[in-house]
């Protein structure tokens, strides 16, 4: 991805990174990109698992070896140690619960940026084409 960014200077918004990421690998296939919004994140509290380590014996992998987690609605956590791997169920047994807890949304809307950062971005937007300026004008800020 860094090599693709060196050859491309026109990155004006976060969405401009999507084609760069996708073009960074062609074989076996381009990277899959999923656009996430603030309401796609949930607050998962430690009600099922004490640990998310993919093993608990000497020589087993650590949490920082995991490249992806998948949380299912029934409370089971899957993980991947490599992006090409299939999802594996976390070997730690979840706690038994009478009913599944409700997982609230982590954010109620876009996460606001600091007022000073917003001000600096407004000053810099004079350097970008007119078509992209509205993105920076509509940023939620404190």
- What pTM value is reported for the model? 0.59
Same domain, 68 and 97: yes
Same domain, 6 and 60: no
* Contact between 106 and 134 (Cβ < 8 Å): no
| 3-state SS record for 90-125 | CCCCCCCCCCCCCCCECCCCCCCECHHHHHHHHHHH
Using omega within 30 degrees of 0 as the cis cutoff, is the peptide bond preceding 28 cis?
Answer: yes
pLDDT in tens, 100-142: 567 788 898 999 999 999 999 999 989 999 999 999 999 999 9
Same domain, 85 and 117: no
Total of domains in the chain: 3
Strands in 68-71's sheet, in edge-to-edge order, are 68-71, 77-80, 88-89
Residue 68 belongs to domain spanning: 42-104
Same domain, 46 and 31: no
């Amino acid at each position: 991805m860094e090599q693709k960014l060196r050859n491309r200077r026109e990155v004006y918004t976060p969405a401009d990174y999507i084609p760069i990421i996708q073009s960074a690998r062609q074989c076996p296939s381009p990277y899959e990109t999923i656009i996430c919004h603030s309401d796609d994140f949930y607050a998962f509290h430690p009600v099922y698992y004490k640990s998310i380590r993919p093993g608990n014996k000497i020589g087993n992998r650590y949490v920082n070896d995991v490249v992806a987690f998948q949380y299912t609605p029934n409370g089971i956590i899957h993980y991947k140690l490599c992006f090409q791997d299939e999802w594996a169920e976390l070997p730690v047994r979840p706690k038994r619960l009478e009913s599944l807890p409700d997982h609230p949304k982590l954010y109620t809307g876009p996460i606001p940026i600091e007022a000073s950062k917003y001000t600096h971005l407004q000053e810099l937007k004079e350097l970008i084409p007119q078509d992209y300026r509205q993105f920076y004008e509509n940023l939620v800020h404190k």
